[in-house]
Amino acid sequence: MEAEELESEASEREPREGTDQSPEAAEEREESEEAACGAKKRVVPGIVYLGHLPPRFRPLHVRNLLSAYGEVGRVFFQPEDGFVRRKKKAAAASAAGGKKRSKYSKDYTEGWVEFRDKRVAKRVAASLHNTPMGARRRSPFRYDLWNLKYLHRFTWSHLSEHLAFERQVRRQRLRAEVAQAKRETDFYLRSVERGRRFLAAEGDSARPNGTWTFAQRPTEQELRARKAARPGGRERARLANAQDQARSNQGLLAKIFGAPPPSASVEEP
């Protein structure tokens, strides 16, 4: 009897212990699944491209405006070209008229903003595109619109490579322009030196009255005269003149009577 009672108590304890351990095992299983999901869903940064930047718009402004929608990482603005900057600076100085110091600030043409999560970047680019930049009335960018575009599968390393490539292209273009300017300068200096030599040679006794002789190609008349001077050349010249005169007479008759001009051509012997 005692053995049967012990077995019944053990059988009663087993389900109780199983019911006590099942929630803990379920929690551990859920935590492991969440950790596995978190490892699979790794946070990937996303980059948003800004195609329009108003004057006096700085990286600090875009960071303050976009930080309300998500965590913002790196920000890069492309400054305007040096030629355009110098032109604007000169225009500001001329507008001031020398009375007071001209106020000119460097502007930017385009920019890139990195969000820590690409899902936030997609949401920001889709919701803020073509909307006013400044929400407050006194904001200087109230009447400017966002021009945002999410760059799919674009990382910050790609941006660095793109900027390095643009710098290399700019250097090569500048090097080519400098080489072209150097060639033009050398040609001008050679021409000046040649002119100086010509002017210095004007007083040479070998060239009386400062006359110069240049070798030119013989004209058609000179070539005919040379051919006529050869033995039998006069007869060939006379025959060629007769053929030319006959051809001109036939053309004149064709024009008068409306007949087609003769197409046959007489070859010179």
Q: Which residue has the higher pLDDT, 89 or 44?
A: 44
Percent of the chain's residues with pLDDT above 70: 67
Confidence of residue 43 (pLDDT cuts 50, 70, 90): confident
Burial class (CB in 10 A: 0-12, 13-18, 19+), 73: middle
Predicted confidence (pLDDT) at residue 211 exceeds the cutoff of 80: no
CA-based nearest residue to 130, from 103, 109, 111, 148: 148
In this prediction, residue 101 carries a pLDDT of 54
- Going 218 to 219 to 221 to 227, the CA torsion angle's sign is positive
DSSP element (H, E) containing 108: strand 108-115
Confidence of residue 206 (pLDDT cuts 50, 70, 90): low
Question: Rounded CA gap, 127 and 220, in Å?
Answer: 81
In this prediction, residue 239 carries a pLDDT of 78
For residues 234-256, average pLDDT? 73
* C-alpha triplet 266, 267, 269: angle, nearest 5°: 130
Q: Which residue has the higher pLDDT, 39 or 239?
A: 239
Question: Rounded CA gap, 159 and 152, in Å?
Answer: 13
State the average pLDDT for the chain.
Answer: 76
In this prediction, residue 25 carries a pLDDT of 64
Chain centre to alpha carbon of residue 46: 24
Eight-class DSSP state of 248: H
Lowest mean pLDDT among 75-79, 100-104, 145-149, 174-178: 100-104
